[in-house]
């Protein structure tokens, strides 16, 4: 794409019973300046009238009669899009007015760029503790990661239409919101395409998080399938949630858990526990400094157990998948003649 040519952008929004958040998403999408070539909404088996709301706003609406997941919905939108760039946006985020300016600038100044992603902003809409913690942590991870991204992000990600279609789009085997965007990013980078993390492109997340939704999403919909993907591609990129500091923190958390019963029987193990806890604090100082600056001391004190719990279930996911695959290999070898 020549530098003098401004790319056209198609916004694609998959939605399943989007509710008030989807209404806000559309309000902001139709207020963008500059505006996109088109806004495409794919109603994925919705039952709350999301498709009708999108039509009222003037979006191009396509319908999945039954829910097939965001991967399928995004692919349908891409097949009907006409823009040079496909900009995928989740139905529970709102875009800043200048969102497309960041995208246009990135693709105009770097003709070899295949795709880009943004991040959540540091002002989550929902005010309860877990919503603030979860969204701020996501913001921190992206804002402190490499600009040379190793994966894609479906909540706020733009990609050249021809590259997306040639790559086969999102893997529709993911029938629920999962890691279909990460999997696409792995395929793109394995094929030699470049993805950029544009840290100035920040969207507001409207989702309300509670303990149940956080663990379900992080463990079952992200950590488990992501571990399968990592082991499949043998790709341990030192970026995002897979940074070396995070891996070491998982080891420290499990070492701490193993040391606790030993300290109950042999008190001198308390010194070892203090050493492990100190190591966890030290290696995660940048995270806690960020939360301290954004939300103060009491909030930071409250989020630390959740942060350590995050390392616990991340490690548990890896161990569970590794054990499962080892078991499958053992069964296969026994069944082989």
Annotated domain spans of the chain: 9-209, 240-335
User: Given the structure tokens 């198609």, which residue do they identify?
Assistant: 10
CATH architecture of 9-209: Alpha-Beta Complex (3.90)
18 vs 15: CA distance, rounded Å: 6
Q: Distances in Å between the alpha carbon of 108 and those of 30, 51, 56, 101, 188?
A: 23, 34, 33, 10, 20
Question: Along the 337 residues of the chain, how does pLDDT read in single tens digits?
Answer: 554 578 999 999 999 999 999 999 999 999 999 999 999 999 999 999 999 999 999 999 999 999 999 999 999 999 999 999 999 999 999 999 999 999 999 999 998 999 999 999 999 999 999 999 999 999 999 999 999 998 999 999 999 999 999 999 999 999 888 999 999 999 999 999 999 999 999 999 999 999 999 999 999 999 999 888 888 877 667 566 778 889 999 999 999 998 888 877 777 778 888 889 999 999 999 999 999 999 999 999 999 999 999 999 999 998 999 888 887 777 766 766 6
* Cβ atoms of residues 50 and 133 within 8 Å: no
Q: Residue 116: which of 217, 237, 197 has the closest Cα?
A: 197
* Cβ atoms of residues 143 and 152 within 8 Å: no
Degrees, nearest 5: CA angle 264-268-271: 105
Peptide bond between residue 99 and the one before it cis (omega within 30 degrees of 0): no
Q: How many helices (H) and strands (E) does the chain have?
A: 13, 9
State how beta strands 156-160 and 85-89 pair. Answer: antiparallel
pLDDT score at 235:
67
User: Given the structure tokens 């980078």, which residue do they identify?
Assistant: 189
pLDDT score at 86:
98
pLDDT score at 147:
94
70 vs 58: CA distance, rounded Å: 21
Torsion of CA 98, 203, 31, 179, to 10 degrees: 120
99 vs 301: CA distance, rounded Å: 34
């Amino acid at each position: 794409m020549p530098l003098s040519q401004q790319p056209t952008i198609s916004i694609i929004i998959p939605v399943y019973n989007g509710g008030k958040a989807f209404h806000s998403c559309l309000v902001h999408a139709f207020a963008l300046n500059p505006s996109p070539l088109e806004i495409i909404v794919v109603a994925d088996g919705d039952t709350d009238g999301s498709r009708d709301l999108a039509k009222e706003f003037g979006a191009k609406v396509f319908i999945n009669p039954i829910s097939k997941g965001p991967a399928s919905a995004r692919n349908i939108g891409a097949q009907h899009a006409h823009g040079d760039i496909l900009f995928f946006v989740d139905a529970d985020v709102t875009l800043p007015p200048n969102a497309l300016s960041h995208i246009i600038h990135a693709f105009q100044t770097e003709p070899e760029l295949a795709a880009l992603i943004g991040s959540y902003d540091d002002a989550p809409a929902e005010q309860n503790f877990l919503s603030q913690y979860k969204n701020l942590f996501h913001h921190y991870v992206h804002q402190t990661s490499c600009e040379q991204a190793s994966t894609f992000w479906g909540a706020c990600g733009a990609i050249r239409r021809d590259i997306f279609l040639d790559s086969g789009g999102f893997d529709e085997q993911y029938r629920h919101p999962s890691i279909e965007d990460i999997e696409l990013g792995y395929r793109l980078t394995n094929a030699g395409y470049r993805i950029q993390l544009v840290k100035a492109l920040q969207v507001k997340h409207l989702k309300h998080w509670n303990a149940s939704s956080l663990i379900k999403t992080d463990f079952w919909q992200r950590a488990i399938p992501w571990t399968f993907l990592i082991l499949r591609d043998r790709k341990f990129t030192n970026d995002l949630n897979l940074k070396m500091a995070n891996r070491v923190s998982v080891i420290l958390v499990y070492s701490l858990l193993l040391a606790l019963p030993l300290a109950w029987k042999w008190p001198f193990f308390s010194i070892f526990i203090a050493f492990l806890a100190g190591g966890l604090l030290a290696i995660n100082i940048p995270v806690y400094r960020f939360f301290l600056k954004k939300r103060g001391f009491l909030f930071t004190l409250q989020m630390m157990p959740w942060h350590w719990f995050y390392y616990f279930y991340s490690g548990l996911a890896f161990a569970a998948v590794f054990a499962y695959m080892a078991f499958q290999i053992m069964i296969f070898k026994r069944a082989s003649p």
